[in-house]
Amino acid sequence: METCKSGSEGGGWKRTETYLASRLPYHGSVNSSQVRVGELFKPAVQRMAPAIIALHNHPSQDPTPSPDDVAVTRAMVQAGKLLDIQLLDHLIIGGNRFVSLKERGLGFS
């Protein structure tokens, strides 16, 4: 496991946290993926991490968040509150672009 620090600002969150690890808990199909929110938080709970960043790609190359993306973000925010693990952001990558659901206020209200 590698750790690194960054002191830059961006995406509505301060990047001074220590990066602990990355996980690939789910493999989806071309147009969907079933997500169990509890499994997304398991590595953070095991490492006693105070926060996570969720990230996934859209194979369509269009990073526009779907209604399901927003619903999963909302569920992750709620689960994080119960676990005292903050969801810093949920990023969607598509092609050479990305969308921050936090910046758009989707699922974080």
- 31: in domain: no
CA separation for the pair 80, 105 (Å, rounded): 17
The DSSP secondary-structure symbol of 52 reads E
Domain CATH number, residue 77 = 3.40.140.10
User: Count of domains in the chain?
Assistant: 1
- 64: in domain: yes
Domain residue limits at 56: 51-109
pTM of the model: 0.76
Query: 26-39 as b/e, with b when 16 or more CB fall inside 10 Å?
Result: eeeeeeeeebeeee
- 95: in domain: yes
- 1: in domain: no
Tens digits of residue pLDDT in 9-61: 444 545 555 666 565 555 555 555 678 888 889 889 998 999 999 999 898 99
Give backbone dihedrals phi and psi of 106, rounded to 5 degrees, phi first.
-95, 110
